[in-house]
Amino acid sequence: MQTRQLGKLWPVSALALGGGGIGQLWGETTREECIATVHAAIDAGITLLDLAPSYGMGEAETVIGAAFEGKLPDGIKVTTKCRLATTNPAEVEKTLTDSLAASLERMCLERVDLFFLHSHIVSDNYDTSASGERPTTRRWIFHEHVRPAFEKLVAQGRVGAWGITGIGIPPQILEALESEPMPAAVQCLANPIDSAGELNFYGGPTRAREVISTANTHGIGVMGIRAVQGGAFTDALDRELPEEHGVRTDFKKAKLFRALAAQLGETAAALAHRYALSMSGIDTVVLGVKNRTELENCLQAEAAGSLSTEEMAQVQAAFE
């Protein structure tokens, strides 16, 4: 598998294994199948595992603990995250530290290589009721309390570096990427229509390409996420969703995209992953697979290589 440089950090595989699928967020599977999928991913050359407590209420992290019992293969990097929903600055450091400790216990590890803020950074006067149940962190708390707490964890050696999830309100993300101390990595949308689907609670453009470009300018590693937008850019939805759900809405938009994939002799998911891998500025694409069959489809997509300029244009035209 191709290796790429993750910002100023270290080389990683072009594909990363995400925790959403093995945490059973994207349809039914079993823990045994998830453990087998993790081993198959590493055997295929994947070197980055991207996890979070919210992926199945700790299930994805538990899978990693069961798969390796604290003895990761050489060269494997691991991330985890924390949803910081509190607005009390006095609780920030404890919340991050306690979340990390619980994640490490589930994974049977002593440290992680990357620790991400998994909540949305909002302006100081933002009406948080607009975000529903999605956790938010006010701008001043992020700058004055979250970043220092992250830096302290790095200094303690409990995390190698820290990052942010870059799919929230664009101005706040861009500011976080351009002010010191900067995150070492950011997770960005990497799909043909820059869609965050149901996660776009603010109702405006995601400005995903601008986020990616800004990160590149500052040497911040870019992990592409939601390449298939929660299943919207696949041949068929694998779970029941309400009609108004963002994934179902995007699935309807992708009718011509699925036809194009068939014309090119590929599954829609494979074409979506090839598109994400071909995007400028993406260092690694995080997979949401839940079993070895889905994993193999993505591995074949990576092995097929980048899309040509003409093919990239065809994908874009399918959504226009």
Supply the pLDDT for residue 106: 97
Protein fold of 3-319 = TIM Barrel (3.20.20)
205 pLDDT tier (thresholds 50, 70, 90): very high
The tens digit of pLDDT for each residue in 62-84 reads 999 999 999 999 999 999 999 99
Counting every residue written for the chain, the total comes to: 320
Q: Of 286, 306, 288, 278, which is closest to residue 77 (Cα–Cα)?
A: 286
The tens digit of pLDDT for each residue in 80-103 reads 999 997 678 999 999 999 999 999
Question: What is the rounded average pLDDT of the residues 165-174?
Answer: 94
Supply the pLDDT for residue 238: 81
Percent of the chain predicted with pLDDT > 70: 99
154 and 161 in contact (C-beta within 8 Å)? yes
Neighbours of 135 (CB within 10 A): 16
| Angle made by CA atoms 117, 21, 241, in degrees to the nearest 5 | 95
Q: Of 44, 40, 79, 36, which is closest to residue 61 (Cα–Cα)?
A: 79
Question: What is the rounded average pLDDT of the residues 101-113?
Answer: 97
| Bridge partners (DSSP) listed for residue 185 | 163, 221
Which segments of 39-139 are extended strands (E)? Answer: 48-50, 77-82, 112-117, 120-122, 136-138
Q: Of 241, 227, 200, 236, which is closest to residue 17 (Cα–Cα)?
A: 227
239 pLDDT tier (thresholds 50, 70, 90): confident
Question: What is the rounded average pLDDT of the residues 244-264?
Answer: 96
User: What's the mean pLDDT when you consider all of the chain?
Assistant: 95
Q: How far apart are CA 117 and CA 137, in angstroms?
A: 9
Q: Which comes out higher in pLDDT, residue 29 or 183?
A: 183
Question: What is the rounded average pLDDT of the residues 232-236?
Answer: 95
Supply the pLDDT for residue 15: 98
Q: Which comes out higher in pLDDT, residue 189 or 136?
A: 189
| Bridge partners (DSSP) listed for residue 162 | 115
| Residue 122 confidence (pLDDT) above 80 | yes
| Residue 130 confidence (pLDDT) above 80 | no
Q: Which residue is listed with tokens 């993750």?
A: 6
Q: How far apart are CA 76 and CA 49, in angstroms?
A: 8
Domain boundaries, the chain: 3-319
